[in-house]
Structure 1
Amino acid sequence: MKANTRRARAVGAVLGLGLACAPALAQEASGEADQDGNYFRIGGYVRGWAAFNLQDIPETRGNDKGKLSMLRGSMLLDADAATGPIKWKAVARLDREAKTPYLRDLEELRKTNGTTGGDHSSIMDNYNGGDLREFWGEFKAGERATFRIGKQQIVWGESDFFHAMDVVHGYDMSWRLFFEGENEEWRKPLWLASVKFDVPEAAGQIHAYVRPGLDRCKDIGNTYDIRGGRWFFQPYRGYDLSAVTSYDCKHPEGNKDDWTGGIRWSGEAGSLNYSLAYVRTFAADPVANSVFAPYKKAPAGPLFDLIHPMIDVFGATVSGYSAALDTVFSAEIAYTKDQPYNVGTGGLTTPTLGAAAGLGLGGIKLKDTVTTMLRADKNLHFENLLGTNRPSFSSVQIFDTWIQSHKDSEDLVRLFAYGSPLTEHSTILTAFTVLNYKGDTINPGIAVGVDLNHGGGFLIPSVDIVLGDKWRAKAEADIFWASHSGKALFDPNPGVQLFGYFANNSQLTFRLTRQF
């Protein structure tokens, strides 16, 4: 109880410090540029979250429905400055959480499973942190070239929920695996040198970057909650997988110190906007280099190492407005050379590998993969029907992942340490709309997604409220359903696919933000 009280006080301290500093920081934010164009402005936000379980979690003994699953506080500082010809940007964020009774139950379950140890003795290591998220300088060279050097984010692509060409960065999904939007908050910035070069003769622009390998291991690829926390997939909540594995960022096929980079051409052709891109980067989702079937290097972990092998991605986007349908249509396609997948489902165990082959630990196989996205954005007129104060922005998006030359005999799995078989196509259909009331101060929304190949999906009703100039509030329910779900550790149902990971983990989340 004392530890939980200290955590709650820490969350309160983050919020209290931010609220206390906000007025003074707001004064700085209003600074005007001097006669030489120099200025310094600082802003940001203080934000708090509270989330509650809407379902009972089968891994624990008690009934978890209604329990507080997240009590989190964050403070973000966002500074802009100009000194002569150079523009500067710095963004820092501090995050603290309280150990809720639900998290304490999961931590105790980790002890029961015998998976607490090493450097991650506390489940809170997954959620507390502080980081310099961005720090860069930008300057022009001539009339056409703009250089940006430092820690930054580069966003290429057209899709929101899923990512085809938006692969420059990984995402930190350890503390909150699923809710609408927030890509800028989840994306993990990298140390890059980038340049934009305008080519007005061809109505286009070249955008290129290099990553010189200065980033930390934890900055590479996607980060998931594998420590048994609230967003580890069923049935692994309460099982700390980090106790039996380690991260290898020096693997010969995925060394974080190796240089990576990309180049993108974006332009106009008549009424269409289009882009062509190439990215040399790390596979976003980690794969397991297993002790049972090592991949080009023996793993250091007792069971496997997580690695992010290098991949090559070639992509294109196109978008345009149809006056006849009053709709903006977008399309995106990405061809990934040598996307890594783990091998070994529960249905194809071997005498050599035994049960390990049912855990996705039967090795790594490279497969070329094509991801496509089709999207239609349209303003719908609900003013008379629903009483909105303006047309409602709505979008429908279909996203497909196609494994080239797929064969069932290859025994590919969807995710490491999970024996769910990977199918040739995985197709997700999503749609959302946002309604606006009282001069856009009350904004309900609803998003829905379904897995067209395997069943399951999500429903996200929400409401975003503007409270004056500085305050914002949001309430959101993340409701999941699945056709199959895992029932026991290391014995997953082979029918489990994407939404089986979210089984029995529907959440109700409240968020309050004070901007300054």
Structure 2
Amino acid sequence: MIGLNNKKVTKPDRRLPGRVALAVTLAATSAAQADDQNWLTKDWEISGYARQYLSWNLENPTLIGPGPNGLDGVQEGDYRGDLSMVRTVGKLNIFRDFGAVRFKTTGRVSREASTSYLDDVQDVADAWARTGGAPESSVDLIDDSYNDEELREFWLQGDLTDSLNLKIGRQQVVWGETDFFQLMDVIHGYDFRWRSFLEPENEELRKPLNMVNLTQRFDDAGGSLQLIYIPGRLNDEEDRGNSYDVEGGRWANQPNRGVPFATAPFGANVRYNYHHPDADMDDDSYGLRWNGLAGDWGYSLAWFHGPNPNPVANPNPATNNTAPELFLGAYEGTYEGGPAEAGEFIYPYIDVFGVSANNYFPSLDVVFSTELAYIPEAPYNAGIQSNSQGRGCGFFPGFCGIEEKNLFRSMFRIDKQVDLTGVLGTSRPSFLSVQVFNNWIADFDKSEQLVNTAGFSGDTKEFSSIVTAILAANYANDQINPSLAVGSDLTYGGGFVIPSVEFVYGDHIRVRLEADIFFDREEQDRPLQDFNDTNLFGYFAGNDQFVARLTYQF
């Protein structure tokens, strides 16, 4: 046909409506077929963040190399104000709800840039390795401790019946009412090497595990029963238990920055042994938790069998010939490939029995929460004195053996909305939380000389308590959010003050500024010598920090 532009008039094609209808029908059919064929590639939810950390020293950390004059004849430097961390993190979440089954995978990549301060810490670590380290014991802090690529989540979840739910794969499971100091939150370990316990989102520090997570609802009883099964051989051994900075990095306990435990002098090397007969990470872990309601109270009853969250030092009898009878009950193990020297770090398997409860009291406008845990045969290191002081039974305090004690732990917390709008000018009521943590060793015996941390001679008390409080406020319609966290060790002395503020810019940008300030009653001045009564907050001496964190979330 010739169109109108060619000056020829034609009759309308009466078949056109039918052809259009046919085309629409074919297009709809094709789209439906494509929709069926591409069901795997649609409706995915993608989220994540790009994050930049910067931190500066607010005081001068101790850095002392081997020898009487420090590293290569240089005395301690002045690192106050120096940049201590330049860390870049990217995280990607991919989620899809298929209807009957839900799927999620999360990956995270972390990279650190060197700083002049971190270079000096590395130089000190290398010097210790040259002086007395075991073969192949040198540590590259950035590559070995800070940089990582990790699959954080990879799971499928679905209902097997109307009341039975299964979640299987790599995931995190949090039990209890608190995870500041672990009571029932013992399923996973935490990686405290790059920033200790200070990260506000604790899921960033928690180590995920491959597991089977089965939950059966009992609607008539108003509760649910959860079963956790963790196959040991399907998880990396380093993913179990808490990881502390024993490599001598920026969060090593005072005064051990730059002193890797694996390169300690005079053959006193201490490494991890993940395959001790009583602490074999190939062994499975499992637990049960009942979660229910009793009137206005929410409560849970739980039991978990798995590795002790914190490692303990297992001395080796081969190099402790002077060990007294106290040592006879110690675990006896060796490294893979050879005997231990001063000892080894192990995670003995324990049982944790716990109860939690919470309730809202409208007359006081407070939420009360509590958590109680009983750990029979909890492992403690023993021996306050050390051979380096000319007496004792081990190279370091605590290296006289392991004693098993019956430990009761408790937490009591009150959460309350506090109206400070008239006092501080906030845009809405503020949030206040006060927590008290207690430990009681039921079969305590002072003559056993229990220590809180191997390598330090702070002796353990029968009763000990820590109190913490957090006040969070909001300004400018939640665009400016300051908070203040404080804590005090009522038994061993010391505490912390952490002021912070987070700025919110739209849906994507978050800026957090924070100062981490620690106080202590006693700190150790020199590595591997002159041991004194150093306890929890003495370990953090010299670690006052100012931290800036920029996050772009999507």
Q: Provide TM-score, normalisation by structure 2.
A: 0.84
Correspondence for 1:50 among 36, 54, 62: 54
* Equivalent residue letter for 1:297: G
| C-alpha separation in 2, matches of 1:363 and 1:311 | 17
Q: Secondary structure at the residue paired with 1:419?
A: coil
In 1, Cα distance between equivalents of 2:470 and 2:392: 45
What is the TM-score normalised by the length of structure 1?
0.90
**Which residue does 2:364 correspond to in 1?**
325
Structure 2 residue aligned with 1:306: 345
The amino acid that maps onto 2:293 is E
Structure 1 stretches lacking a partner, 5+ long: 1-33
Q: Does 1:112 align with 2:151?
A: no
Q: Which runs of 4+ in 1 moved over 4 A?
A: 34-38, 347-355
Deviations 1:61-108 (A, max 9, x none): 111100111100000111111335211111110000011111111111
Alignment partner, residue 231 of structure 2: 212
Bigger Rg, which one: 2
Instruction: Give the RMSD, CA atoms, in angstroms.
Output: 2.1
Tell me, yes or no, if structure 1 residue 289 matches structure 2 residue 314. yes
* 1:120–1:83 distance in 2 versus 1, CA, 3 Å: farther
Q: C-alpha separation between the residues in 2 aligned to 1:312 and 1:457?
A: 30
What 5-or-longer segments of structure 2 have no aligned partner?
1-37, 65-75, 264-268, 321-326
Distance 2:517 2:392 in 1: 38
1:110 Cα deviation after fit: 1.7
SS at match of 2:486: strand
Aligned with residue 184 of structure 2, among 138, 141, 165: 165
C-alpha change, 1:35 and 1:68, in structure 2 (3 Å) is closer
Instruction: State yes or no: 1:260 paired with 2:291.
Output: no
State the Cα distance separating 1:408 from its structure 2 match: 1.4
Q: Determine if contact 1:38/1:82 at 8 Å carries over to the other structure.
A: no
CA shift, 1:290, in A, is 1.2
The percent identity for this pair of structures is: 39
Q: Give yes or no for contact 2:279–2:348 (8 Å, CA) kept in 1.
A: yes
Question: Which of 402, 410, 413 matches 2:440?
Answer: 402
Determine the structure 1 residue equivalent to 2:475.
437
Aligned to 1:341: 380
Q: Sort the Cα spacing of 1:460 and 1:120 in 2 relative to 1 into closer, same or farther, 3 A.
A: same
Give secondary structure in 1 for the equivalent of 2:120. helix
Q: Is the 8 A contact 1:37 1:82 kept in 2?
A: no
8 Å contact 1:418–1:492 — kept in the other structure?
no
The 2-side partners of 1:275 and 1:513 are apart by 36
Greater share of strand: 1
In 1, Cα distance between equivalents of 2:259 and 2:390: 27
Name the residue aligned to 2:32: none
Structure 1 partner of 2:45:
41
Alignment equivalent of 1:81, drawn from 96, 101, 125:
96
Do 1:346 and 1:494's aligned partners in 2 also have CA atoms closer than 8 Å? no
CA deviation string 1:182-209 (max 9, x = no partner):
2110100111101111111111111111
CA distance in 2, matches of 1:354, 1:433: 46
Kept in 1: contact 2:386–2:393 (CA 8 A): no
**SS of match in other structure, 1:126:** helix
Is the partner of 2:485 in helix, strand or coil? strand
User: C-alpha displacement at 1:395, in angstroms?
Assistant: 0.3
Alpha-carbon deviations, 1:102-140, whole Å to 9, x = none? 111111112333366625431212111111011110110
Q: Aligned pair count?
A: 483
1:374-403 CA-partner distances (Å, limit 9, x unpaired): 000000001111111111011000001112
Give the C-alpha shift of residue 242 in structure 1: 2.5
1:355-504 map, 5 Å: 356=395, 358-491=396-529, 493-504=531-542
Shift of 1:474: 0.0
**Structure 1 residues 144 and 482, CA, compared in 2 at 3 Å: closer, same or farther?**
same
Distance 1:88 1:492 in 2: 54
Rate the CA distance shift 1:413–1:469 in 2: closer, same or farther, 3 A. Answer: same
Match of residue 199, structure 1, among 201, 210, 218? 218
Question: Could you say what secondary structure the match of 2:84 adopts?
Answer: strand
Distance 1:36 1:496 in 2: 57
> Does the 8 A contact of 1:485 with 1:492 survive in 2?
no
Alpha-carbon separation, structure 1, partners of 2:374 and 2:449: 22
Deviation per CA, 1:199-244, whole angstroms, max 9, x where unpaired? 1111111111111111111101000111111101111111011332
Aligned mates of 1:212, 1:339 — CA distance in 2: 23
Report the residue type matching 2:109 in the other structure. L
- Residue 380 of structure 2 contacts residue 452 of structure 2 at CA under 8 Å; is this kept in 1? yes
Contact 1:343 1:361 in 2 (8 A): yes
Deviation at 1:296, TM superposition (A): 3.0
Residue 352 to residue 296, structure 1, CA distance change in 2 (3 Å): farther
**Letter matched to residue 153 of structure 1:** Q
Conserved in 1, the CA contact under 8 Å of 2:419 and 2:428?
Answer: yes
1:62 corresponds to 2:77: yes
**Displacement of 1:245:** 2.4
Contact 1:87/1:138 (8 A) holds in 2: yes
Where 2:124 maps in the other structure, the secondary structure is helix
Indicate conservation of the 8 Å contact 1:197/1:207, yes or no.
yes
CA contact (8 A) 1:348 1:411 kept: no
Distance (whole Å) between structure 2 residues aligned to residue 298 and residue 382 of structure 1: 59
Partner Cα separation in structure 1 for residue 138 and residue 94 of structure 2: 33
Aligned to 1:225: 245
Q: 1:108 is paired with a residue of what secondary structure?
A: helix
- Contact persistence 1:418–1:490 (CA under 8 A): no
The one-letter code of the counterpart of 1:170 is: G
1:308-360, CA deviations, whole angstroms, 9 ceiling, x for partnerless residues? 0000000000110111110000010000111111111128999895452x421
Match in the other structure for 2:272: 247
